[in-house]
């Protein structure tokens, strides 16, 4: 999904002035030079936008430039590999998301050990996924979809943004928990998958809420469920998956990581400032504009979350026998 960057990066002048006024009064040893945040996707998408929001905040608060560098390639593994082998001095960070935890099991030889070489520092935001279907599909609820899919094993085509993409493994998790068999059709991104869903060439997609909700509001697609724990304000009539599948948990999330052996003091500084960023009303509002909720918490809490994601997707990938192309 590509969103207008200016819409999210132009904080009000008052908010920018407030950021400057709120810079810590005490001196810190870190940072003393510009910091790179590597992003494993091209510019313009939600990951990139979130990275730039956080980099702007950190630059204002810590008095050094936090510079976003887009290093797309190999489902974000190129950027992650660079950070895994970077000096552990806090000056090279990585923007983390679901691909980092999926790739652990999806690929046999990454050139690094994600769980050993990358330290999760802080969560930033989490965006729910919608299960959307073409209006011609007779199923109007999750139970009806399950029954329909069981009556036509392998005949329902589910589009996804690539092999091992968040939408792919989220759909595979759904299949694992419900016992249905569908056919996944990979595309080069979520947008073309949704385009083919609109045209009726596939019957369902597990898509980020920001990408799909306007199609739902306009009646072009039907949303059966959303992966938030409660009803979603943007689509209040769409029930959560947990109403039907208590064990179903998935999202498109964003966080920050560093190389292993980064000093604890630097990790704690970054965690504190990122938590301050996502508590700020201006940034919260920008994130809410594309259906994202903030992910506050300690370093330990984020590390536990990331470890849980690795374990969950490992089970799903092995169950579904997902292999990279």
Here the tokens at position 173 are 């998790």
CA distances in angstroms from 309 to 11, 219, 306, 325, listed in the order given: 32, 33, 5, 22
Q: For residue 24, what pLDDT band results from cuts at 50, 70 and 90? A: very low
CA distances in angstroms from 223 to 22, 236, 238, 285, 302, listed in the order given: 42, 11, 7, 24, 30
pLDDT at position 256 over 70: yes
Q: What is the pLDDT, as a whole number, of residue 308?
A: 98
Sheet holding 293-294, edge to edge: 66-70, 35-39, 92-96, 252-259, 118-127, 293-294
Q: For the chain, what percent of residues have pLDDT higher than 70?
A: 91
Question: What's the mean pLDDT when you consider all of the chain?
Answer: 91
Task: List, in order of start, the domains of the chain with CATH numbers.
Answer: 5-127+251-319 (3.40.190.150), 129-249 (3.40.190.10)
Q: For residue 269, what pLDDT band results from cuts at 50, 70 and 90? A: very high
Find all residues with CB under 8 Å of 320, minimum gap 6, and list them: 169, 172, 175, 176
Q: Which residue has the higher pLDDT, 16 or 47?
A: 47
Q: What is the pLDDT, as a whole number, of residue 28?
A: 54
Sheet holding 204-208, edge to edge: 183-186, 157-160, 204-208, 129-133, 222-226
Q: What is the DSSP track for 182-244?
A: -EEEE-SSHHHHHHHHHTTSSSEEEEEHHHHHHHHHTTSSEEEEE-SSS-BTTBTTSPBGGGT
Average pLDDT over every residue of 224-240: 90
Q: Which residue has the higher pLDDT, 230 or 319?
A: 319
Alpha-carbon span 53 to 46, nearest angstrom:
10
The string of pLDDT tens digits covering residues 34-69 is 999 999 999 988 899 999 999 999 999 999 999 999
Q: Is 305 helix (H, G, I), strand (E, B) or coil?
A: helix
Neighbouring C-beta atoms of residue 311, cutoff 10 Å: 12
């Amino acid at each position: 999904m590509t969103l207008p960057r200016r819409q999210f990066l132009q904080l009000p002048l008052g908010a920018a002035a407030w950021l400057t006024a709120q810079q810590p009064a005490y001196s810190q040893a870190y940072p003393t030079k510009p910091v790179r945040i590597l992003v494993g996707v091209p510019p313009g998408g939600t990951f990139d936008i979130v990275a730039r929001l956080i980099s702007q905040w950190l630059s204002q608060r810590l008095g050094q430039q936090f510079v976003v560098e887009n290093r797309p390639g190999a489902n974000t593994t190129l950027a992650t590999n660079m950070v895994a082998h970077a000096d552990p001095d806090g000056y090279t960070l990585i923007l983390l998301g679901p691909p980092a935890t999926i790739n652990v099991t999806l690929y046999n030889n990454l050139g690094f050990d994600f769980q050993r070489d990358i330290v999760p520092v802080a969560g930033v935001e989490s965006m729910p996924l919608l299960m959307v279907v073409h209006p011609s599909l007779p199923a109007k609820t999750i139970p009806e979809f399950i029954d329909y899919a069981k009556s036509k094993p392998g005949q329902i085509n589910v589009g996804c943004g690539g092999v091992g993409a968040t939408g792919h493994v989220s759909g595979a998790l759904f299949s694992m928990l419900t016992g249905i068999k569908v056919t996944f059709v990979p595309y080069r991104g979520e947008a073309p998958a949704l385009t083919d869903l609109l045209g009726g060439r596939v019957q369902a997609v597990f898509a980020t809420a920001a990408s799909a909700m306007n199609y739902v509001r306009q009646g072009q697609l039907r949303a059966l469920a959303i992966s938030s724990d409660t009803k979603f304000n943007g689509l209040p009539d769409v029930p959560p998956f947990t109403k039907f599948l208590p064990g179903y948990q998935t999202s498109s999330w964003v966080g920050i990581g560093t190389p292993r052996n980064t000093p604890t003091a630097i990790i704690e500084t970054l965690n504190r400032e990122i938590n301050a960023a996502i508590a700020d009303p201006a940034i919260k509002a920008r994130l809410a504009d594309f259906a994202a909720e903030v992910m506050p918490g300690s370093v330990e809490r984020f590390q536990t979350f990331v470890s849980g994601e690795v374990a969950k997707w490992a089970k799903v990938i092995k169950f579904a026998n997902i292999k990279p192309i």
